Copies of this chain bind each other. A is one copy, B any other.
Amino acid sequence: MIKFGIIGANGYGGGELLRLLSQHPQVELGMIASRSQEGKRLEEVFPTFWGHPWGKVTFVDSEDPSCTAGCDLVFMAVPHGVSAKLGPALLAQGARLIDLGADFRFKDPKVYSEWYKVEHQAPELLAEAVYGLPELFRDELPGARVVGNPGCYPTATLLGLAPLVKAGLIDPDRIIIDAKSGFSGSGRTAKPELVCGETADNMRAYGVATHRHTPEIEAVVARLASRPVTVSFTPHVVPMPRGILSTLHLTLRQPATTADLIDVFNAAYMKEPFVCVLPEPYLPETKGVLGSNRCQIGVRADRRTGQAIVVSVIDNLVKGMAGQAIQNMNLMFGLEETTGLLHPGMWP
């Protein structure tokens, strides 16, 4: 049994970890921490836990360094900067670390500090930290002590890009990513723009040309393409609780048909338990992965424009966050990768 703790367990990422881990046969709840909810019971913070055995577990103070004592693994669901600060002490305690934030996603601390506007507090850990996208970097996960769990947008986007980039089929200098997310990606904190009357029936672009997931996507594409890459990334928020749909507008280097492209994706993902490529005439919908750890991908070649359009969908809180973190945990600890994660999504 893996004894786990969660720091920042009061947000949507933390709640989703608890929902999924409560169904995982090889874990044991060590502690849940939150500064703002200290002393409250889980059921008071997540009403889904009324009547559940974990509902009476009480949040401890995340500022107390001893809170993680005895944990084999700590999930960090905290703002950037916190994981880097707490990480070294956690490792010294013998715990491993999966950071749901950005602190361990970059190999180069300069990229981090440029986009996140803070110095990295534990640059010495970046060499060993693994970027936890198992479909691309599975081999690095067994035994890893520190995993940077990918961002939600990068997860959907990179799974849609990787096969075509690796195969050299698209021009890496003309990658245009138009991504749409449900509002849970904006978090649970009370901010004026998140009030229900403001978000209902409303859609907007945000972070245009400045979103912090841009360098994360670029870093991975650069690894795959073996050269520096700049991408155009434009996120939008859409009035639904969950789901990301990332539409990739790509320029084919040479003519290809939709069938050709589907073949490339199928070859890349045929053995993947959580990635599914839809055959013609189907295209993925976000609801198709609601609550599940799956990624569904559709692709079309447009002979008129020479473009390939890829549509990749995930649940931003599962494959885009908590589910992927558990997938990483399974690999880190030598468990079957799919443990606790095979359930289908919910319809409707």
Task: Point out the residue from B22, B183, B236, B342 that lies within 8 Å of A200, measured CB to CB.
Answer: B183
Q: Is A336 an interface residue (CB 8 A)?
A: no
Q: Is A190 an interface residue (CB 8 A)?
A: yes
**In the assembly, what is the distance between CA of A244 and CA of B288, in Å?**
23
In angstroms, how far is the closest chain B Cβ from the Cβ of A136? 18
Q: Is A120 an interface residue (CB 8 A)?
A: no
In the complex the two chains form, is A274's CB within 8 Å of B51's CB? yes
In the complex the two chains form, is B202's CB within 8 Å of A285's CB? yes
In angstroms, how far is the closest chain B Cβ from the Cβ of A319? 11
Q: Is A278 an interface residue (CB 8 A)?
A: yes
Q: Is A182 an interface residue (CB 8 A)?
A: yes
Q: Is A117 an interface residue (CB 8 A)?
A: no
Residue on B nearest A295 in the bound complex, by CB: B51
Chain B residues contacting A162 (CB-CB under 8 Å) are none
Q: Is A290 an interface residue (CB 8 A)?
A: yes
Q: Is A1 an interface residue (CB 8 A)?
A: no
In the complex the two chains form, is A300's CB within 8 Å of B200's CB? no
**In the assembly, what is the distance between CA of A15 and CA of B245, in Å?**
23
In the complex the two chains form, is B201's CB within 8 Å of A240's CB? yes
Q: Is A144 an interface residue (CB 8 A)?
A: no
Q: Is A345 an interface residue (CB 8 A)?
A: yes
One digit per residue, 1 when the CB lies within 8 angstroms of any chain B CB and 0 when it does not, for chain A 275-315 equals 11010001111111111101010101110110101010000
Name which of A71-79, A92-100, A203-211 contacts chain B: A203-211
Q: Is A344 an interface residue (CB 8 A)?
A: yes
In the complex the two chains form, is A241's CB within 8 Å of B50's CB? no
* Known contacts A203-B240, A247-B178; is-contact A300 B51 (Cβ 8 Å): no
**In the assembly, what is the distance between CA of A78 and CA of B176, in Å?**
36
Chain B residues contacting A192 (CB-CB under 8 Å) are 188, 190
Q: Is A113 an interface residue (CB 8 A)?
A: no
List, sorted by A's number, 25 A–B pairs whose CB atoms are closer than 8 Å: A19-B346, A23-B23, A47-B284, A47-B296, A49-B344, A50-B282, A50-B288, A51-B273, A178-B249, A186-B196, A188-B192, A196-B198, A196-B200, A196-B241, A201-B242, A202-B240, A202-B285, A203-B243, A203-B245, A204-B284, A208-B283, A209-B300, A209-B304, A230-B305, A232-B305
